[in-house]
Amino acid sequence: MSPISQALLTTSLTVLGGILVFVVGQVFSKLALGPVSELRGLIGEIADDLLFYSNVYCNPGTGSDEIASECSRVLRQRASQLSARVHGVPFYDLCARLGLIPTLSSVVTARNGLIFLSNSVRNGEPRENDQRRTEVQNVLGVPEELR
């Protein structure tokens, strides 16, 4: 094999190897890391909503009907989205064991807590609602400094 042919073969194999690594990286990123990132982003949105609407669900029945309805709808929607995002994460148990995302039982606890708060906006018990909020924040791993 001539030196020119050898150089062309080496260059071609290097380029093909680079393309293969890029494609595999993109597939891994989209199929595995993307859903994990989306779930973590949703947990951030839930933390935001719990703080933003705390004056509504920690003081049931005192706000306007419009705000109470909005709070109830948003919290229930977040519970629904939480369940949906879990199904999109491949190798969920492995990711949870690695600490990238909450365990499945934690997600179920958080989902149930959000539904409870959604149902308690108008006639719940303030102390119980506050305890439920804290439980949701704990199981989702929301740092105490951000509550």
> Rounded to whole angstroms, how far apart are CA atoms 10 and 30?
30
Residue 12 lies inside a defined structural domain of this protein:
no
Burial 81-109 (b: 16+ CB within 10 A, else e): bbeebbeebeebeebbeeeebbeeebbeb
Q: Which domain holds residue 133?
A: 35-146
pTM over 0.85: no
18: its two tokens:
């680079």
Residue 95 C-alpha from the chain's centroid: 13
Residue 68 lies inside a defined structural domain of this protein:
yes
Residue 119 lies inside a defined structural domain of this protein:
yes
Residue 15 lies inside a defined structural domain of this protein:
no
State pLDDT tens for residues 7-63: 888 888 888 888 888 888 787 777 778 999 999 999 999 999 999 999 999 999 888
Residue 50 lies inside a defined structural domain of this protein:
yes
Band of residue 119 on the pLDDT scale cut at 50, 70, 90: very high
Could you give the number of structural domains in the chain?
1
Residue 42 lies inside a defined structural domain of this protein:
yes
State pLDDT tens for residues 61-99: 888 999 999 999 999 999 999 999 999 999 999 999 999
The DSSP secondary-structure symbol of 122 reads T
